[in-house]
């Protein structure tokens, strides 16, 4: 029984550094993805702002609407 426990402890001790390495790599990937998504979000917000500004420019003003067809 004690031998089985020692064997499990040995395996756990060997797996611990591997598990830590995997966790570190997962954190690196997470950080990279987070940065990429933040940049993509900023670019998307810029595109939306530009599109709204273009739409606003393209709309005739209220004054133009009132006088349309009454020349």
Tell me the Cα Rg of the chain: 31
62: Cα within 13 Å, side-chain hemisphere? 0
| pLDDT band for position 64 (cuts 50, 70, 90) | low
Q: Does residue 52 lie in a domain region?
A: yes
DSSP state of 69: T
Query: Is residue 59 predicted with pLDDT exceeding 80?
Result: yes
Residue 14 lies in a domain: no
Print the domain residue range for 53. 22-57
Confirm whether 38 is domain-assigned.
Answer: yes
Residue 60: predicted pLDDT? 80
Q: Look up residue 46 and give its two tokens.
A: 């810029």
The pLDDT of residue 3: 79
Considering the chain, what percentage of its residues have pLDDT values greater than 90? 68
pLDDT at 42 over 70: yes
Q: Under 8 Å CB-to-CB from 68, ≥6 apart: which residues? A: 60
Task: Tell me phi and psi for residue 57, to 5 degrees.
Answer: -65, -35
Q: How many domains does the chain have?
A: 1
Residue 29 counted as domain residue: yes
């Amino acid at each position: 029984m004690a031998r089985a426990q020692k064997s499990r402890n040995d395996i756990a001790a060997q797996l611990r550094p591997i598990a830590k390495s995997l966790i570190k790599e997962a954190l690196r990937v997470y950080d990279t993805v987070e940065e990429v998504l933040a940049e993509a979000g900023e670019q998307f917000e810029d595109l939306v702002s530009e599109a709204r500004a273009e739409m606003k420019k393209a709309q005739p003003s209220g004054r133009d609407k009132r006088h349309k067809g009454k020349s």
